[in-house]
Structure 1
Amino acid sequence: MPQRFDFLVLGGGVAGLSFALQAARHGSVAVLTKRERYESNTQYAQGGIASVLAPTDTFEAHVQDTLVAGNELNHQDAVEVTVREGPDRIRELVALGAEFNRASTGDFDLTREGGHSARRIIHAGDITGREVQRALLAACDAQKNITFFQHTAAIDLILDRRQAPGRASRCVGIYALNEHGHIDTFLAKVTVLATGGAGKVYLYTSNPDVATGDGVAMAYRAGAQIANMEFYQFHPTCLYHPEAKSFLISEALRGEGGKLRLRGGQTFMERYHPLGALAPRDVVARAIDAELKRTGDDCVYLDMTHLGRAFVTERFPNIYATCKAFNIDMAVQPIPVVPAAHYMCGGVVTDLQGRTTVPGLYAIGEVAHTGLHGANRLASNSLLEGLVFGHRAAQATAEEARALPPLPQDPPDWDPGSAVDSDESVVVTHNWDEIRRLMWNYVGIVRTDKRLMRARRRLDLLREEIRDYYWRFKVTRDVIELRNIADVAHLIVDCASRRKESRGLHFTLDYPNTDDHHWKRDTVVSREL
């Protein structure tokens, strides 16, 4: 029997939990997470939350910094909403029990990161995301209307195709694979994608294993509009070590005075941007990539040694301890770093309340394209976006849920067809590795038409293999994720191939200049149903 709720949330990060807390005041909420409920991109966010909290800062300055970082491809209304509503959302988070670093005066200890013109980053040491997640989960536990379903992987959205002629099919829930290997049906008046990003589509990423682009892939298959997938942010500084996996070295280190150096000790960022190491992320990532190609080195180095042991151990205890575990003492040794896929600036197209182009389906957080980030995300605007749009979507859906017609009594059953248990799982692991490697080599920090064409041809073959495998064998979590990263890779290549200019995170050697006349607009794609 289907499980029925008023609100169905896919994902347990800052956006999903913020939504669930608000929506629980108006009805029953189910929150589905693929792994443990705390496992999300939010959990690993280090730097902080950007917001205007100091009397010397202004909304106008934060808006302008966001527009500059996004190469003015941002939607002005989305930027204004996020910046102006941010302080209230942070105060609500503090009221829930989130604890952030404070100065001796009792005020927030605000720091600065790349692209910001002021110190406006509120933080909890270097584990801000973990503290935000802790506070939100504790608040959710106090709400009797919220039910968590852990180890539950969404497979596809359920569309009610029994609509009046000319009306789009309404989303009424999802099929999901539970931890026992069974397919469950979840129905809800409102379905909310809060599934985060898709860093695992690339070979090297700062993201955890859950970041496989599930929300974008499912929404695309359901006919939703998707925009700006060519803008994938590569964080300039991830720890370079053979035994380290996806460990981010926060932008805050450069905000506090860290220097980027080559193997011989020379600094280089001043040759690429007036802000040097504090330039926007796309500039820093491309600069590092260019220097590695020029020198043939495996990495560059982030030097904090001039700041002293007391400062680095107190300000960055988690990063210090992790580096030390890999025999790198950042108080006396520069940290080896390389760029890695970090943040998806495109996503499922939404309005300012999180509504997608599919009725009944909302998207919030990294999975959504609200227009906030434009062609490049400004540091620490991501947790802020999750807080703001989680709140806005909950307000909108509270009214919408009351007005919607009843859910179908007889939703379409999951159709396993003639699927059997797989005896050739090597296909999954091989295709997974191949997609991630070809995306890194052909659709990475610097692109060309020829590289994109190669990627498209190979992806077409891989997606056909994956479709055949998907229908012939019983679904597993690995197959679900493989299918999703293949669809997301296709969308990134499609959007990148359409944009005939270089802007923000999309840099192509064939069109190295920005072309405002033709391309100061979003790249929007959708699947014909």
Structure 2
Amino acid sequence: MPQTDVIIIGSGLAALTVAYHLRHKHVKIITKSSWSQSNSMLAQGGIAAAVANNDSWKNHFEDTIAAGCYHNNVKNVEYLVQEGPRELNEWIHRGVKFDCDTKGQLLLGKEGAHSHHRIIHAGGDATGKELTSFLYYQSKPYVQIVENEIAIDLIIEQNCCQGVNTKNNQGEINSYFASHVIIASGGCGAVYGQTSNTDVITGDGIAMAFRAGAELADMEFVQFHPTMLHINGKCVGLISEAVRGEGASLVTQNGEAFMYTIHHQGDLAPRDVVSRAIFDEMEKGNQVFLDISSINNFNSRFPTITALCKQYGINLASGKIPVAPGMHFLMGGIKTNENGETSIQHLFAVGEAACTGVHGANRLASNSLLEGLVFGKRIANYISSISAEVPQSRTTKNKAKQVNEKPKLPTKKQIQEIMTTYVGIQRSNTGLQLAIKWFEKYRDQISFQNINVKTFTINEIEVINMLTIGWIIATSAFERTESRGGHYRIDYPERNDQNWQRKQVMITKSEMFVGA
């Protein structure tokens, strides 16, 4: 049976960062599609870091905590913002080319809820693609990459992760063993119909960890990006927050601006605030547009967005881009400590699949790529420092529930409709109960916690994962009886108080509880 030092599930920025820093070990990356299909490749805005002379890590810290509605893990946020500038300087020295002015100074943008210009970007609005590609080619000579295989279940013995079972496009099952397994599979954007995520992000890593017994946390906190290109009732691509940072404003079809009547930061308010404001306007029957008429160099500053708009026939000369909110980022995930360790021995998580607590209840713009770089390196350094003792047991015995007759599963579209209708930007007690009841029809048939997915097709496995994640988000949202950040209950007041004691809704197997 194949044996390696480290298996990484996923191929985005966080995964490649870990692989780069572990290139002295035998590392295998397993990804369900091609390495280039990740949310990291789609990231437009940039990377937040306090590198300007008039900025400081303390400013960045305060912005992150405020945007996160004081639900953040304070120590992890401090580590993120303190290490950020050093980490970026190291990648610049390695050869990453960020956008600079004619004097060679970094061009710094501004995005929602930031008090300073601190967003470093590359390729105008292609930061994720530029950085992820650079990391891929730097890591490729040292790492074995297995593409087009979906990780379906972790191999667990006595609460110790020994490897992973996968299924390839030919339906073949493979088992891989390693001293350490790292889940870096991203979030769960495809659980919602309108999303900025690539369609392969169906929550597989998080659902798989849940089946294995790993503890999850903060799953109710879902961030909707305020401005996605909205064509014929469908969100078709991301319009970076950096566009508003360059001076664009949100207006209705009548040209009426509305954000400054809602929040003192106006169009650059935190994402949860802006998304709800746009949602409210659309509920009134209004259309919402980004007015870009004040940005003189739009085509050169935002080439990716320009190409996207042209693809869908948007005349940028009109100065208006139709927008609507779409699911963008999951603040929760597999609960980890500062070194990426989960509640299962030898199992780690990093990136959007992990819940480190740095994002709190609402992620500050452009902190996600930073998290991937900083915590990816931290996990790699930690793994390098600990014993590489290989678990002794080598069994592929599967104790999960066998399904004698395949149940009739819903379609992905049906799951997306339930999540968008009842577990979206605005939530209520009644709506959440309806969603939970719908999900539990399937949970009772197939058991989200304890099912052998090997006999299912890849599409069916994705549906089971989406059902699992949908049920967890809905149930966690029902348990949190307040509004905070990306979790907005119309039947409970909003809380952003600084003196509030952080409480997490955590879930493992069929148990759900609230902890500090």
Separation (CA, whole Å) in 2 of partners of 1:495 and 1:419? 31
Cα displacement (A) at 1:466: 5.2
Of 85, 92, 95 in structure 1, the residue corresponding to residue 93 of structure 2 is 95
Cα displacement (A) at 1:333: 3.2
Q: What are the Cα deviations for residues 150-203 of structure 1, in whole angstroms up to 9, with x where unaligned?
A: 001000111013xxxxxxx10111110023210000111100010111011111
Which residue of the partner structure matches residue 150 of structure 1? 147
Residue pair 1:463, 1:483 contacting (<8 A) in 2 also: no
Using the TM superposition, name which of 510-519 and 232-241 deviates more: 510-519
For 1:301, the aligned partner's letter is F
Instruction: Say whether residues 1:376 and 2:362 are aligned partners.
Output: yes
Instruction: Say whether residues 1:511 and 2:492 are aligned partners.
Output: yes
Q: What are the Cα deviations for residues 418-452 of structure 1, in whole angstroms up to 9, with x where unaligned?
A: 879x8x9xx55x43221110110001011110000
Q: What are the Cα deviations for residues 351-371 of structure 1, in whole angstroms up to 9, with x where unaligned?
A: 111001111100000111101
Q: TM-score, normalised by structure 2?
A: 0.94
Which residue of the partner structure matches residue 514 of structure 2? none
Separation (CA, whole Å) in 1 of partners of 2:436 and 2:293? 45
Which residue of the partner structure matches residue 520 of structure 1? 502
Separation (CA, whole Å) in 1 of partners of 2:401 and 2:489? 43
Which residue of the partner structure matches residue 291 of structure 2? 303
Separation (CA, whole Å) in 1 of partners of 2:59 and 2:253? 36
Residue pair 1:151, 1:179 contacting (<8 A) in 2 also: yes
Separation (CA, whole Å) in 2 of partners of 1:209 and 1:248? 14
SS in 2 for 1:174: strand
Q: What are the residue-to-residue correspondences of 1:487-506 with 2, within 5 Å?
A: 487-506=468-487
Residue pair 1:355, 1:362 contacting (<8 A) in 2 also: yes
Count of residues in Structure 1 that have an aligned counterpart in Structure 2: 508
Separation (CA, whole Å) in 1 of partners of 2:262 and 2:100? 34
Residue pair 1:328, 1:335 contacting (<8 A) in 2 also: yes
Instruction: Say whether residues 1:16 and 2:18 are aligned partners.
Output: no
Separation (CA, whole Å) in 2 of partners of 1:454 and 1:199? 21
Cα displacement (A) at 1:232: 0.1
Using the TM superposition, name which of 76-85 and 209-218 deviates more: 209-218
Using the TM superposition, name which of 47-56 and 517-526 deviates more: 517-526
Which residue of the partner structure matches residue 412 of structure 2? 432
For 1:85, the aligned partner's letter is E
Separation (CA, whole Å) in 2 of partners of 1:467 and 1:191? 25
Residue pair 1:365, 1:382 contacting (<8 A) in 2 also: yes
Separation (CA, whole Å) in 2 of partners of 1:473 and 1:6? 25
Instruction: Say whether residues 1:455 and 2:435 are aligned partners.
Output: yes
Separation (CA, whole Å) in 2 of partners of 1:173 and 1:473? 15
Separation (CA, whole Å) in 1 of partners of 2:334 and 2:492? 26
Separation (CA, whole Å) in 1 of partners of 2:392 and 2:60? 43
For 2:326, the aligned partner's letter is A
Instruction: Say whether residues 1:218 and 2:197 are aligned partners.
Output: no
Cα displacement (A) at 1:215: 1.5
Of 327, 332, 335 in structure 2, the residue corresponding to residue 341 of structure 1 is 327
Cα displacement (A) at 1:331: 3.6
Are the structure 2 counterparts of residues 136 and 414 from structure 1 closer, same or farther at C-alpha, using a change threshold of 3 Å?
A: farther
SS in 2 for 1:240: strand
Cα displacement (A) at 1:93: 2.3
Q: What are the residue-to-residue correspondences of 1:127-146 with 2, within 5 Å?
A: 127-143=126-142, 146=143
SS in 1 for 2:318: coil
For 2:434, the aligned partner's letter is R
Separation (CA, whole Å) in 2 of partners of 1:207 and 1:355? 26
Which residue of the partner structure matches residue 364 of structure 1? 350
Are the structure 2 counterparts of residues 414 and 44 from structure 1 closer, same or farther at C-alpha, using a change threshold of 3 Å?
A: farther
SS in 2 for 1:307: coil
Residue pair 1:499, 1:519 contacting (<8 A) in 2 also: no
Separation (CA, whole Å) in 2 of partners of 1:369 and 1:185? 27
Which residue of the partner structure matches residue 261 of structure 1? 251
Q: What are the residue-to-residue correspondences of 1:77-88 with 2, within 5 Å?
A: 77-88=75-86
Of 151, 157, 160 in structure 2, the residue corresponding to residue 160 of structure 1 is 157
Q: What are the Cα deviations for residues 391-434 of structure 1, in whole angstroms up to 9, with x where unaligned?
A: 000111122342x34442444369996879x8x9xx55x43221
Are the structure 2 counterparts of residues 15 and 371 from structure 1 closer, same or farther at C-alpha, using a change threshold of 3 Å?
A: same
For 1:159, the aligned partner's letter is I
Which residue of the partner structure matches residue 55 of structure 1? 53
Q: What are the residue-to-residue correspondences of 1:276-315 with 2, within 5 Å?
A: 276-294=266-284, 296-297=285-286, 299-308=287-296, 311-315=297-301
Are the structure 2 counterparts of residues 442 and 101 from structure 1 closer, same or farther at C-alpha, using a change threshold of 3 Å?
A: same
Residue pair 1:96, 1:136 contacting (<8 A) in 2 also: no
Instruction: Say whether residues 1:3 and 2:21 are aligned partners.
Output: no
Q: Which has the higher strand share?
A: 2
Cα displacement (A) at 1:512: 2.0
Which residue of the partner structure matches residue 42 of structure 1? 40
Are the structure 2 counterparts of residues 265 and 524 from structure 1 closer, same or farther at C-alpha, using a change threshold of 3 Å?
A: same
Residue pair 1:126, 1:316 contacting (<8 A) in 2 also: yes
